[in-house]
A = this chain, B = another copy of it.
């Protein structure tokens, strides 16, 4: 129970930035022994912002938690040999390598397979042809930035959250666990590949946006904070705070009218204007009118009053919060939530999430600290020496 559901798996991670570190961190949170290697002095994301006032990367800390960190100089033949031994070490739970580095030369799947035939190697690239790309260059191409932001905006709006990286990190773990299941059953390893722009464009397709272009020829302009295809909009409150209100389902719409005392108002306006807000399409088409009619109620109440009034009503809503307000005001982002604990990291002590996944039998591991860079170099190298040579063929 206390060791995590993936206890016994050892994963070597060669990575930087978000996607591959997220994959490794997800595995570490589930109990895998994840060893991230970096060049001496740190890799490309060693000083990635946000930074502490002491110059330490809080980003690096967040994405390496629960991992062991080793420094290896891959410019030396000795370093490359050590890493090859580590990646191809024998044992059922070993022989798993996750990377977003170019998988060429000695680090290619073929070369590593010569040392361990049943290697599972997950390679993340920017595009499917192996060329590079980052979340911030893929996102503008997806169509989302051109369809969000203020209605009258002449420019696209980037997302600050690297969603494609985070999604790819999760899917990489899906690929790894599927390949491990195959290896457990058949003894065969394999190369698993995934590209960031494929993840992004596939998602555009999943959500019906490719079909909409091809079948309907339609495109989208920014529409402010409205939700697409039903009612959802933001409202300023009496105290300057804002809330997001959603009525996707009939039940949510009825609850919203009831809680705000606008049932009669909407009935009269629907009658007078010929609008029908009883289905999603009607609510979407009438979104400006709906917002106009609801706005006075929100303007008359503070966020606290709104929270109290809407509690238990079935209204779908959420407060807008800055990062600071999230951390300082939202109980879901505090130690009241069993996912979070205060953890002492080398960069400082802060509220740290464990995996969002809980397992009734296997449990959930408490959040772990991030390592010092190279903290486990000696330890891991010593372990390697006590293991036999990496050849299971």
Contacts and interface: CB of A to CB of B under 8 A. Distances in A.
Contacts of A210: 62, 323, 326-327, 333, 350-352
B198 A327 contact: no
Contact of A49 (B155, B177, B230, B345): B230
Contacts of A70: none
Interface string A138-177: 1111111111111001011111111100111011011101
Interface string A41-53: 0001001111111
B322 A211 contact: no
B190 A323 contact: no
Given A6-B178, A26-B171, A244-B158, A318 B137 contact: yes
A248 B30 CA distance: 30
Contacts of A316: 132-134, 137
A80 interface: no
Contacts of A286: none
Contacts of A320: 140-141, 145-146, 156
A37 B117 CA distance: 42
Nearest to A322: B146
Contacts of A171: 26, 170, 356-357
A272 interface: no
A85 interface: no
A229 B332 contact: no
Interface centre among A62, A246, A316, A321 (most CB of B within 10 A): A62
Interface in A302-346: 316-328, 330, 332-333, 337-340, 345
A241 to B, nearest CB: 11
Q: Which of A47, A193, A333, A339 has the most CB of B within 10 A?
A: A333
A333 B201 contact: yes
A199 B167 CA distance: 11
Nearest to A364: B193
Given A6-B178, A215-B350, 16 more contacts: A5-B179, A26-B174, A47-B279, A50-B208, A128-B338, A136-B246, A140-B242, A140-B244, A141-B319, A194-B357, A201-B337, A202-B339, A202-B353, A202-B355, A202-B356, A214-B348
B219 A322 contact: yes
The interface size bin for chain A is 35 or more
Interface string A350-385: 111111111111100000000000000000000000
A180 interface: yes
A47 B248 CA distance: 11
A373 to B, nearest CB: 16
A133 B318 contact: yes
Interface stretch (A71-79, A181-189, A261-269, A287-295): A181-189
